[in-house]
Each structure stands twice: as structure tokens, then as C-alpha cells.
């Protein structure tokens, strides 16, 4: 069933006329990067073409400025729509009573069936509070010419093969992995994948929800596996001094072969380097736990205090359509959550789409899945561990103290 602009009021499916719709629909967005800005402008233009009686007022914020302003405008001067993130970042505002329940949009548009991978990330206690418009798969971006130079003929699929690849690269004078941890968050990708590959998705979700202690032996096993890479000199030196962008030249200059990151890195490679870059998913460590992936999801939400919720629901329904998501995701160099959408003919997009399609489940990302304060302490600990793995017990005790402060004793 579609939301009909001339006959159906979105929230209650009651008959009404187009004159009931307010003309202005105000959207506050954090999509300030060039591709994001273009994708939103195209989406808004297409929506206004479909609904010419609605005029979208597009307020664009820098990412960090948006985070600061968001808590204020959701309370005092709420727009009708916002862009934000699924998962715990959404749940924080749901728990504060600041986001609208849009389960009716999901039901009317058949989104549970059309977007099965992101239902959980969009839900709190069985109700949906946002509609995802794009997501993306994390994985290893690597230079195939450097692999060939080191005598590597295939990408690793298991942990043992991954260790062998790293050893061959080191022997060839190439640092296996570049990373910039000054930003902290790149470390979280490593923790997420190691934990999901060793302990599985359910355990990872419980840890993110504060239901497992960081001093648990299962968590410690994650760091023991991580330490295998640190002790084998897999990572570039002095990584805390580099942002994620500042670590990229190691790969561009042929000094490092791999980077565990998201698709937004692709546009940052120079053309000659990009021709040599390929992608592979994080290797399997324990086949028995299944395959779980990090797939951060961007979504639209309606503030609880919005004034034009009817048109906002029309926008959510429009943005969820398969053809619309095909276009939006392609502009963003991301993937469409709607399984009926198409993925552009690009080796990175196709690889990520295939990997997410066979996953047993997806998570958002460490700092999107757990409490923000805990995420900060956790990522500080991850960065410290990568420099001093012998401090693991003290690091985990410190993270656990923050978990207990926020979630309580177990």
C-alpha cells in the first residue's frame, strides 16, 4: 500500500484532501560532505516533483555542529525531518521522547519485508523510529599491486591466511595495515569485527547493551587475538598521530597495503592508486559463530515535536521506495537498504552488497551501538591497547568501570 497524497493521511490512513497539507516541510540535515549534499538535494528535488504542493526547506549543518545543535532544536524548535543514524544513536533520542514512532510507515510501505537487514537497527521495543535510506559495508581496501609484489596471489578468507598475508608483506618491506587512531573511531572497527568473528553477533549486541562485563574472559580473547597483529608489526608506527585521512598516504605511496575502513575512502584515493585498489571482507576466525558485519546505517527521522508530521511521513515513504534508494545510494557511493533496489556497477559496491546479503546479521558500529560516554572510554582504551598491549587488564578494568557507572552492576 502506498501513501496517496490526495486521499490518505499517513498516520491514521484517514481520508483528507491535499489542502490539509502544510506547504513547508522543514528538514535539518548533517549531510554536509559533497556527495551527501548532492544526494539530499536530488532526493528533495525528486520529492517536490512528485508532491509539487510541498516545499522542502533544507537546513544543512556541518557534522559536528549538527551534533551540538540537535539536542536543542529537537526540544525547542523542532524541524519536521532530520537525518541521523540508526542504532543506539537513534535510541538515545527515542528514550528521551524526542523522536516520533513511524511504525505505521513501515507497515503501510511493507518495509519489514523490503528492508529486513535494518529492521532491528530502526527499532526500539518493537516499534520503528526512523526509515534508513543508505548503509555501507566495512572491509579491507587493499592494493593488489603490492600484494603481487609480495608474492600474494589471493585474498585471505581465514585468520590463518590473514596472518600469512601480513607476514609476506612485512618480508617484502611493506607494512601490512595503515590506520590513523587520532580520531579514535577507526580502532572501533577492529574491535567490532574481532568480537563478532570470535564471539558472534548476539554476544556483541549484549556487550553493546551493557549486559556483559568488559572484564569477561570472552572479551579478553578478542584482545589476545588483536595482540597477535600488534606484536607482528602489522600496523603503521605512530598511528595515534594520524587522523584517518592522514594515514592514507602510507597506502598511496606504497608503504602500506591494506586499510580496514568504509567505502567513503574510495573517493580519497588518487586515480592511479584507485585503479590498483580492491576489497575483501574481514576474514573468518571461528566459522561456528556465523558472519556478522558492521553496516552503519543513515536514516530519516521525524522529531516528536514536529509540526508537519503528515508531509514528513510522505517523505519517509517516498525515500524508502526501491527506485529512489537506487539513485540515492549510487550518489552517496553507499548501498540501498531496500532489497528491491539496484546496486551500481562498481566493484566496491557489488562486493559490499554481496557480503551484507549473506551475513547472519549486521551491527551499526561501536560508537553507534553503545552508550556514547562508554564508547569514548572504550575507544580511548582501544587506542592505548594498540600502543601497549601489555596494559590490557588495566584498560579493560577502566572500560568496565565506565560500563558499570552507566548500566549498573551485573
pLDDT tens digits for 315-332?
A: 999 999 999 999 999 998
CA distance 300 to 343: 21
CA distance 75 to 305: 7
The pLDDT tens digits of the residues spanning 36-50 come to 999 999 999 999 999
Burial class (CB in 10 A: 0-12, 13-18, 19+), 367: buried
pLDDT value at residue 12: 36
Torsional sign, CA 206, 93, 112, 196? negative
Torsional sign, CA 91, 94, 98, 103? positive
CA distances to 50, 174, 329 from 145, rounded to whole Å, are 48, 12, 29
CATH of 139-294+371-407, one of 3.50.50.60, 3.40.190.10, 2.60.40.1120, 3.20.20.80: 3.40.190.10
As averages over each run of 10 residues, the pLDDT of the chain (410 residues) reads 37 38 84 90 97 96 87 93 92 94 98 92 94 94 98 97 98 98 95 97 94 97 97 97 96 98 88 95 95 93 97 98 96 90 87 84 89 95 97 97 96
The full DSSP string for 370-407 is S-HHHHHHHHHHHHHHHH-GGGHHHHHHHHHHHHHHHH
Prediction pTM value: 0.80
Find all residues with CB under 8 Å of 278, minimum gap 6, and list them.
Answer: 141, 142, 144, 155, 347
CATH of 18-136+296-363, one of 2.130.10.10, 3.40.109.40, 3.40.190.10, 3.40.50.10860: 3.40.190.10
10 Rama class: left (phi>0) / alpha (psi -120 to 50) / beta: alpha
pLDDT value at residue 396: 98
Per-domain boundaries in the chain: 18-136+296-363, 139-294+371-407
pLDDT value at residue 150: 98
pLDDT value at residue 17: 39
Which H/E stretch holds residue 81? strand 81-85
pLDDT value at residue 348: 87
pLDDT value at residue 263: 85
pLDDT value at residue 16: 39
Residues 29, 82 contacting (CB under 8 angstroms)? yes
Which of 18, 70, 62 has its CA nearest to residue 301?
70
The pLDDT tens digits of the residues spanning 257-304 come to 999 999 888 888 999 999 999 999 999 999 999 999 999 999 999 999
CA distance 285 to 218: 14
pLDDT value at residue 355: 86
pLDDT value at residue 11: 38
**Helical residues (DSSP H) of 115-158, grouped into ranges:** 144-149
**φ, ψ for residue 293, nearest 5 deg:** -125, 150
126 Rama class: left (phi>0) / alpha (psi -120 to 50) / beta: left
Give the CA diameter of the chain: 72
Q: Fold match between 18-136+296-363 and 139-294+371-407? A: yes
Q: In what order do the strands lie in the sheet with 277-280?
A: 175-177, 256-261, 139-143, 277-280
Angle at 150 between CA 147 and CA 155, to 5 degrees: 35
Give the pairing type, strands 297-301 and 81-85: antiparallel
Amino acid at each position: 500500500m502506498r501513501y496517496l497524497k490526495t486521499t490518505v493521511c499517513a498516520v491514521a490512513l484517514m481520508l483528507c484532501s491535499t489542502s490539509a497539507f502544510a506547504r513547508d516541510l522543514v528538514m535539518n540535515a548533517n549531510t554536509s560532505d559533497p556527495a551527501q549534499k548532492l544526494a539530499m538535494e536530488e532526493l528533495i528535488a525528486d520529492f517536490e516533483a512528485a508532491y509539487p504542493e510541498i516545499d522542502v526547506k533544507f537546513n544543512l549543518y556541518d557534522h559536528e555542529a549538527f551534533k551540538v545543535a540537535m539536542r536543542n532544536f529537537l526540544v525547542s524548535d523542532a524541524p519536521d525531518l532530520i537525518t541521523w543514524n540508526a542504532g543506539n544513536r537513534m535510541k538515545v533520542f527515542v528514550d528521551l521522547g524526542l523522536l516520533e514512532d513511524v511504525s505505521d510507515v513501515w507497515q503501510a510501505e511493507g518495509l519489514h519485508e523490503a528492508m529486513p537487514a535494518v529492521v532491528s537497527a530502526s527499532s526500539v521495543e518493537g516499534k520503528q523510529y526512523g526509515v534508513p535510506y543508505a548503509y555501507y559495508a566495512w572491509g579491507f581496501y587493499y592494493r593488489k599491486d603490492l600484494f603481487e609484489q609480495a608474492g600474494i596471489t589471493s585474498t585471505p578468507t581465514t585468520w590463518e591466511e590473514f596472518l600469512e598475508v601480513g607476514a609476506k608483506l612485512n618480508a617484502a618491506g611493506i607494512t601490512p595495515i595503515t590506520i590513523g587512531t587520532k580520531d579514535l573511531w577507526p580502532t572501533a572497527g577492529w574491535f567490532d569485527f574481532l568480537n563478532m568473528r570470535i564471539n558472534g553477533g548476539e554476544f556483541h549486541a549484549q556487550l553493546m547493551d551493557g549486559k556483559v562485563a568488559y572484564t569477561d574472559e570472552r572479551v579478553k580473547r578478542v584482545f589476545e587475538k588483536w595482540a597477535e597483529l600488534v606484536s607482528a608489526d602489522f600496523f603503521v608506527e605512530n598511528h595515534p598521530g594520524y587522523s584517518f585521512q592522514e594515514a592514507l598516504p602510507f597506502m598511496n605511496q606504497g608503504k602500506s597495503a591494506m586499510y580496514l575502513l568504509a567505502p567513503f575512502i574510495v573517493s580519497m584515493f588518487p586515480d592511479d592508486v584507485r585503479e590498483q585498489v580492491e576489497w575483501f571482507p574481514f576474514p573468518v576466525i571461528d566459522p561456528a559463530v556465523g558472519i556478522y558485519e558492521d553496516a552503519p546505517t543513515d536514516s530519516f527521522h521525524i522529531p516528536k515535536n514536529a509540526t508537519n508530521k503528515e508531509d514528513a511521513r510522505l517523505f519517509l515513504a517516498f525515500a524508502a521506495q526501491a527506485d529512489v534508494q537506487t539513485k540515492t545510494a549510487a550518489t552517496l557511493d553507499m548501498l540501498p537498504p531496500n532489497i528491491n533496489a539496484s546496486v551500481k556497477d562498481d566493484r566496491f559496491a557489488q562486493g559490499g552488497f554481496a557480503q551484507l546479503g549473506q551475513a547472519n546479521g549486521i551491527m551499526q558500529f561501536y560508537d553507534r551501538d553503545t552508550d556514547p560516554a562508554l564508547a569514548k572510554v572504550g575507544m580511548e582504551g582501544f587506542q592505548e591497547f594498540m600502543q601497549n598491549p601489555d596494559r590490557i587488564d588495566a584498560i579493560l578494568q577502566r572500560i568496565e568501570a565506565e560500563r558499570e557507572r552507566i548500566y549498573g552492576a551485573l
